[in-house]
Structure 1
Amino acid sequence: MTPDDPQELLKVELVQLRSEHRRLDAQIEEHVAVGLGSLEVQRLKKRKLALKDRITRIEDELYPDIIA
């Protein structure tokens, strides 16, 4: 497979998105633990949800459900 292979590019993006999703999760937990502003927590959660949506779309493209 070449670096320009769309499947490989999606897999790389998926790894990056999952990493950012985990980072945001930790950041949200940290903000909640120290009682920082709920507006910032809401912003982080919204970003995390957008990442999860993108992750799901990529996973669906890479690994489609095949109904036999």
Structure 2
Amino acid sequence: MNENQADEPEDAIRARLNTAIQEHADLDVAVQAIAAMTMPDMMVIGRLKRKKLLLKDEIARLKDLLTPDIIA
């Protein structure tokens, strides 16, 4: 996204994190459903898996934004 995201209120970041986690889980269910078909569409599965990876990266980045930088 952009550099100003670090300035967003914590609630907005948490809301986006929850949305991203739900979207990731929904994509996982969709991939499993398509893979269970007798003739699964591998192109669609590949596209969904790439979206899952992007969401996984976004989830990690959002979690990092919520973790305070404490020097021990």
TM-score (norm 2): 0.80
Aligned to 1:45: 49
Separation of aligned partners in 2, 1:55 and 1:15: 9
Q: Name structure 2 gaps, 5 residues minimum.
A: 1-7
The AA in structure 2 aligned to 1:17 is A
1:20 correspondence with 2:36: no
Q: CA deviation at 1:64?
A: 4.1
Question: Over residues 33-57 of structure 1, what are the superposed CA-to-partner deviations in whole Å (9 max), with x where a residue is unaligned?
Answer: 1142100000000000000000000
Structure 1 vs Structure 2: percent identity of aligned residues?
38
The AA in structure 2 aligned to 1:60 is D
Separation of aligned partners in 1, 2:34 and 2:66: 34
The total of aligned residue pairs comes to 64
Q: Name structure 1 gaps, 5 residues minimum.
A: none
Q: CA RMSD in A?
A: 1.5
**Of 51, 57, 61, which aligns to 1:57?**
61
TM-score (norm 1): 0.85
